[in-house]
Structure 1
C-alpha cells in the first residue's frame, strides 16, 4: 500500500485538535495506519488506493463531522512530496525553519506568475503546485504568509517549513 501526506490548513488555537483523537477519527473513516507529526495537521497515511482528491475529501469531512472545523486539506503522495522537497531551490541555502513550501490544492491558472514586491526581503518561486519561499529575516514578521500567495494565485494552499517537509518525506517512505 502506498503512503500519502495530508496537510490540514489552520490547525491550532481555536481549531486545535488532539492528535490521538484525530488519528482515531481518520482510522474509523477508512484511512488506516494514520500517523501525525507535531500538532499542526500533518498526517501520513495509507492511501488505500484513493486519489489525493478523495483523501482530501475524506479528511475534511471527518474533521468537520468529528470536531466541527471545516478546514482545507491538501494531499500529496510520497512521490509528489519527495519531488517537491527535491525541487525546493532554497532547501539547502538557508536554515530549514526559514524556508517554506506552500502546497497548493491545484495548479494556478496557466500563465500565472508570482512577483514578490521589491521592498520585501523574501524570495519566492512558483513551480507547479508549490511555492518555495525563503525568509532571510524570519517568518513571523513577514507579510508573505500562505494567505498572501493564495490571494495572488487564486488557489488554496498551506505552508510547511523545510524541516517539517523533510520529516514527512521520511515518514511517508
Structure 2
C-alpha cells in the first residue's frame, strides 16, 4: 500500500490538536494506519488508492467535524515528498531547521520575486518554494503566508529536519 503525507496548515495555538485524538479520528474516517509526527499537523497514512485531493478532503472534513477547525490540508505521496527534498537546493545547509519547504496546493501562475537586500534565499520549483533562513526564521518576513499572498496559492511550511523524518516514516 502506498503511504501519503498530509500536511495540515495552521495547527497550533487556538487550533491545537491532540495527536492521539487526531489519529483516532482519521483512522475512523477510513484512512487506515495513521501516524503523526510532532504536534504540527504532520500525518502519514495509507492512501487506500485515494487521490491526493480525496485524502485532503477527507482529512479536512474529519478535522472540521471532530474538532471544529477548518484547516487547509496539502497531501504529497512518499515519492513526491522525497523528490521535493532531493530538489531542495538548500537541503544540505548545516542548520536544517532554518531550511524550509513551503508546500503549495497548486503550481503558481505568478513568478516568485524575493525582495532585494534580505538575507533569505528562496526558489520556486513547481508546487514547492525552498527557503533558506541564514539568520533564523522567527524575524523573517518570508513566512508561508507571505508566499501565499504573493503567489496566490495556499501553502504550508515544514523544515528540512521534519521533512526527512516524514520521508523515513512514510517509506
Range class of TM-score, shorter chain: over 0.9
In the other structure, the counterpart of 2:153 is 155
- Mapped to 2, the partners of 1:142 and 1:23 lie a distance apart of 33
In the other structure, the counterpart of 2:12 is 12
In the other structure, the counterpart of 2:136 is 138
Deviation at residue 119 of structure 1 after TM alignment: 2.2
For 1:120-131, what aligned pairs fall within 5 Å after superposition?
Answer: 120-131=118-129
- Mapped to 2, the partners of 1:66 and 1:8 lie a distance apart of 15
Q: Structure 1 unaligned runs (5+)? A: none
Q: Structure 2 unaligned runs (5+)? A: none
Count of matched residue positions in the alignment of Structure 1 and Structure 2: 171
Q: Which runs of 4 or more aligned residues in structure 1 lie more than 2 Å from their structure 2 counterparts after TM superposition?
A: none
- Mapped to 2, the partners of 1:154 and 1:170 lie a distance apart of 31
Q: TM-score, normalised by structure 1?
A: 0.98
Deviation at residue 93 of structure 1 after TM alignment: 2.5
- Mapped to 1, the partners of 2:40 and 2:70 lie a distance apart of 15
Deviation at residue 99 of structure 1 after TM alignment: 0.1
- Mapped to 2, the partners of 1:149 and 1:130 lie a distance apart of 10
- Mapped to 2, the partners of 1:92 and 1:115 lie a distance apart of 23
Deviation at residue 120 of structure 1 after TM alignment: 1.5
In the other structure, the counterpart of 2:48 is 48
In the other structure, the counterpart of 1:116 is 114
* RMSD of aligned Cα (Å): 0.6
Q: Deviation digits for residues 27-62 of structure 1, max 9, x if unmatched?
A: 000001000000000000000000111100000000
